[in-house]
Chain A
Amino acid sequence: MNTFLGYLRQAGTAVRFLALATLVLGLLYPISVFGLGQVLAPAQANGSILKDPAGHPAASALIAQTSADDQGAQDPKWFHARPSAVKWDPASSSASNLGPNDPNLTKNIEAARKTVAAAEGTDPARVPADAVTASGSGLDPSISVAYARLQVPRVAAAHRLSDGDLLALIQRNTTSGLEAFLGQPSVNVTTLNLDLAAR
Chain B
Amino acid sequence: MTFNTVSFLVQVGVLILALALLHKPLGVYMTGVFTGTTNARPERLFYRLAGVDADADQKWSIYLRSVLVFSAVSILVVFGLQRLQGVLPGNNGLAGVDPWVAMNTAISFVTNTNWQTYVPEATVGIVVQMCLLAVQNFLSAAVGVVVVLALIRGITRTRTDRLGNFWVDLARTSFRLLLPLAVLAAVTMVLGGVVQNFWATDVVNQATGVQQSIPGGPVASQEAIKILGTNGGGYFNANSAHPFENPSVFISLFQVFLLLLIPSALPYTYGRMVGDQRQGYTIAAVMGTLWLASTVLMGWGVAAAQGSATAAAGGLGEGFEQRFGGAPSAIYAAATTLTSTGAVNVAHDSLPPLAGGTAMLNMMLGEVAPGGTGSGLYGMLILAIIAVFIAGLMVGRTPEFLGKRIGPREMKLAAMYILVTPALVLALTGLTVLVPEQVANAPSSGPHKFSEILYAFTSGANNNGSAFGGITTSGPYLSALLGVAMLLGRFLPIVLVLALAGSLAQQRRIPQSSGTVPTHGWLFGSLLLAVTVILTALSYFPALALGPLAEGLIR
A binding-site residues for B, Cβ under 8 Å = 6-7, 10-18, 20-22, 24-27, 29-30, 32-34, 36-38, 40-41, 44-49, 52, 54, 56-60, 62-63, 65-67, 75, 77-78, 82, 89-103, 105-106, 109-110, 113, 127-130, 132-144, 175, 179, 181-184, 186, 193-194, 196-197
Known: A26-B135, A182-B249. A93 touches B468 (CB 8 A): no
B380 at the interface (CB under 8 A from A): no
B309 interface neighbour in A77, A89, A100, Cβ under 8 Å: A100
Which one of A32, A96, A110, A138 has the greatest number of beta carbons of chain B within 10 Å? A96
A130 interface neighbour in B171, B209, B322, Cβ under 8 Å: B322
A182 interface neighbour in B193, B198, B250, B308, Cβ under 8 Å: B250
B146 at the interface (CB under 8 A from A): no
B352 at the interface (CB under 8 A from A): yes
CB B317 to nearest CB in A, in angstroms, measures 3
Assess the A37–B322 pair: CB atoms within 8 A. no
Assess the A34–B318 pair: CB atoms within 8 A. no
Q: For the complex, what is the distance from the CA of A156 to the CA of B460, rounded to whole Å?
A: 51
A179 interface neighbour in B51, B198, B250, Cβ under 8 Å: B250
Assess the A25–B135 pair: CB atoms within 8 A. yes
Assess the A137–B243 pair: CB atoms within 8 A. yes
**Secondary structure dominating the interface of A:** mixed
What is the 8 Å Cβ interface bit string for chain B, positions 28-65, against chain A (1 contact, 0 not)? 00000000000000000010011110000000001001
Assess the B250–A59 pair: CB atoms within 8 A. no
Assess the B132–A26 pair: CB atoms within 8 A. yes
Q: For B347, what are the chain A residues with a Cβ–Cβ distance below 8 Å? A: 95-97, 136
Given contacts A6-B65, A36-B183, A105-B350, 19 further A-B contacts (CB under 8 A): A33-B218, A37-B197, A40-B190, A58-B204, A94-B238, A98-B350, A100-B306, A100-B356, A106-B308, A127-B314, A129-B1, A132-B314, A136-B347, A140-B322, A183-B248, A183-B252, A184-B4, A197-B207, A197-B208
Q: For B288, what are the chain A residues with a Cβ–Cβ distance below 8 Å? A: none
CB B496 to nearest CB in A, in angstroms, measures 21
Known: A26-B131, A93-B237, A186-B322. A98 touches B309 (CB 8 A): yes
Assess the B242–A98 pair: CB atoms within 8 A. no
Give 9 nearest A-B pairs by CB, closest first: A100-B307, A133-B317, A136-B241, A197-B207, A95-B347, A183-B249, A184-B325, A93-B238, A26-B131
